[in-house]
Amino acid sequence: MMSASSRIPSITKPLVSNRAKKVLDLVEEFVEKECIPAESLFSAELGEGEQRWKTNPAILEQLKTKARKLGLWNLFLPNSSQGAGFTNLEYGLMAEYLGKSKIAPEATNSSAPDTGNMEVLAKYGNAQQKAQWLEPLLEGKIRSAFLMTEPAIASSDAMNIQLEIRREGNEYVLNGSKWWSSGAGDPHCELYLVMGKTDARSLDPYKQQSVVLVPASAPGITVHRMLNVYGYDDAPHGHGDITFTNVRVPLSALILGEGRGFEIIQGRLGPGRIHHAMRAIGAAERAMDWLIARVNDERKRAFGQLLSEQGVILEWIARSRIELDSARLVVLNAAHKMDQGDARSALKEIAESKVLVPQVALSVIDRAVQAYGAAGVSQDTPLANLWALTRTLRIADGPDEVHLQQIGKRENKARRQEVIEKLAWQKEAAGKLLAANGFSMLKSSL
Ligand SMILES: Cc1cc2nc3c(=O)[nH]c(=O)nc-3n(C[C@H](O)[C@H](O)[C@H](O)COP(=O)(O)OP(=O)(O)OC[C@H]3O[C@@H](n4cnc5c(N)ncnc54)[C@H](O)[C@@H]3O)c2cc1C
């Protein structure tokens, strides 16, 4: 079998160090040989009912120990002395393999939302905040959640965020509601990064929001329930529906400064979106594995033929390969642009990946579901769960429409004048050429 490093797209190979290539191969082996076979045990150890929110499956701890021994720990955090020190592009290649298994990201301490939260603390936290929260997160001892979305407003527009963060003496007092707080169900989740308004009256709407660090056990926090995703509860991780009633934290819990919330989410979401996109490609690659296995299953012939002998099925395989290989290049291009500058300088490329990849991955997973017939929508393959997880990426971290609007606005604004002038010039030049060669002018009114 070809190794992961030999499958790196050739255009990006010169950008990947030998160390990253070696680790990439180790990641592939760890995911395929350790994590995927351990998924059933993970579910069995998680148990049933309420127990699912209290259990820490032993297999996950065993995998963490193995991952650490192999050096597969904190693979994100590009160019940081606290992480493994890979570039966004190198880690992107690894994240693809982590995305093949739902337990691999946590087994390597490289799972959302902790990765984004650790990046915030590493980039914007002060020494005390790093010692209190970043260190145990990097050690994998605790987990965290990022609380931005609220139930009563359209949260895709972050300016709508309402949760009040009021300064009172040497404390901030928090009041409001949050939901879709991913990771809040985990028994190890000890930290919430909460976005809210410190100054609702600021004339600059981008300066109203701030982010504070809140211990999950703080008095006044109520976790009402965990939300389902197409019926999956995603235990023990979970997506919390939470209220804050006069929750008090010291002023030192503020990250970076009052009114810096937008800056923080921008810095957080750039790399996070690349990680999600590459993991989604990995999820779709796993669906491809299952697709190829089913269509070549000798026991399950339809109308006397293997499914792979049907032209339409080969076309599914071909389309899936083309779509995934092209989507991967779009994400790696965004990762490389970030490596050359920062998330801000790669906004367009990150938005392109954010929109393109979930749509491509969903079509690929859906073809695999179809190839399995009824089994494809059941719990007997990972496909239904992969589809549900991937479908949420068209909404989470901002819905497609918001990113499409940004890409469209940017492209239109940057190019309209230049394009109008160029086409007018070309028309005039064409007319002159025709006239110089004795032909009459074009009739088109455009
Ligand atoms: C599985 C999952 C995990 C999540 N995890 C987290 C988390 O950890 N922390 C957190 O804070 N949030 C989380 N979220 C929430 C997610 O980020 C929000 O759902 C998302 O930002 C959209 O906000 P909303 O649900 O309020 O939709 P709304 O803002 O109400 O938007 C509804 C719809 O309106 C349309 N729309 C919006 N803007 C435009 C526009 N400009 N043009 C055209 N149409 C538009 C879109 O179709 C959109 O889907 C998670 C969501 C899911 C599903």
Domain CATH code at residue 280: 1.20.140.10
**Cα separation, 113 vs 338, whole angstroms:** 20
CA of 8 to the centre of ligand 1 (A): 33
Q: Evaluate whether residue 433 is within a structural domain.
A: no
Percent of the chain with pLDDT over 90: 93
302 & 378 share domain: yes
Q: Which atom of ligand 1 is nearest to the CA of 229?
A: 1
Instruction: List the single range of 1-5, 381-385, 412-416 with lowest mean pLDDT.
Output: 1-5
Domain membership of residue 441 (yes or no) is no
Q: What is the mean pLDDT of residues 86-109?
A: 97
The pLDDT, as a whole number, for residue 79 is: 64
Nearest CA to ligand 1 atom 28: 154
Instruction: Identify whether residues 286 and 243 lie together within a single domain.
Output: no
Domain-ending residue, one of 193, 225, 255: 255
pLDDT band at 440 (very low <50, low <70, confident <90, very high): confident
Please indicate, yes or no, whether residues 251 and 282 belong to a single structural domain of this protein: no
Average pLDDT of the chain to the nearest whole number: 96
What's 184's domain CATH number?
A: 2.40.110.10
Percent of the chain with pLDDT over 70: 99
Q: Which long-range contacts (CB under 8 A, 24 or more apart) does 309-313 make?
A: 313/371
One domain for residues 212 and 271? no
Q: What is the arithmetic mean of pLDDT over 142-171?
A: 97
Q: Output the pTM of the full model.
A: 0.95
Contacts of the segment 288-292: beta carbons below 8 A, 24+ positions apart: 288/317, 288/320, 288/321, 288/324, 288/364, 288/368, 290/368, 290/372, 290/381, 290/382, 290/383, 291/316, 291/317, 291/320, 291/364, 291/367, 291/368, 291/371, 292/317
Indicate if 151 and 53 belong to the same structural domain.
no
In a domain, 405, yes or no: no
Q: Is the CB of 193 under 6 A from ligand 1?
A: no
Residue 280 lies in a domain: yes
* Mean pLDDT for the stretch of residues 78-101: 90
388 and 268 in a single domain? The answer is yes
Question: Mutation test of ligand 1: which of 180, 195, 387 has the most ligand atoms closer than 8 Å to its C-beta?
Answer: 180
- The answer to whether position 387 is within a domain reads yes
Q: Which range (170-174, 269-273, 399-403, 408-412) has the least confidence? A: 269-273
Q: Confirm whether 196 is domain-assigned.
A: yes
Domain boundary among 255, 287, 318: 255
In a domain, 327, yes or no: yes
* Domain final residue pick, 221, 255, 289: 255
The domain in which residue 231 lies consists of 143-255
Q: Binning pLDDT at 50, 70 and 90, where does residue 173 land?
A: very high
Let me know: does 365 contact 283? Beta carbons within 8 Å.
yes
Cβ atoms 269, 116 nearer than 8 A: yes
Q: 160 C-alpha vs ligand 1 centroid, how far in Å?
A: 12
The answer to whether residues 236 and 275 belong to one domain is no
Structure tokens at 366: 């859906």
287 and 379 together in one domain: yes
Q: Same domain for 279 and 336?
A: yes
SS3 (DSSP) at 309:
helix
For residue 75, what is the domain's CATH number? 1.10.540.10
- 379 lies in the same domain as 306: yes
pLDDT average, residue stretch 290-318? 96
Ligand 1 lined by 87 (C-beta under 6 Å) = no
The answer to whether position 150 is within a domain reads yes
The Cα 229–Cα 103 span in angstroms is 17
Residues 234, 176 within the same domain? yes
Could you tell me if 211 and 302 lie in one domain? no
Q: Into how many domains does the chain fold?
A: 3
Whether the pLDDT of residue 80 is over 70: the answer is no
pLDDT for res 344:
86
Q: pLDDT by residue (tens digit) across 383-415?
A: 999 999 999 999 999 999 999 999 999 999 999
Task: State the closest ligand 1 atom to the C-alpha of 183, by its place in the atom list counted from 1.
Answer: 8
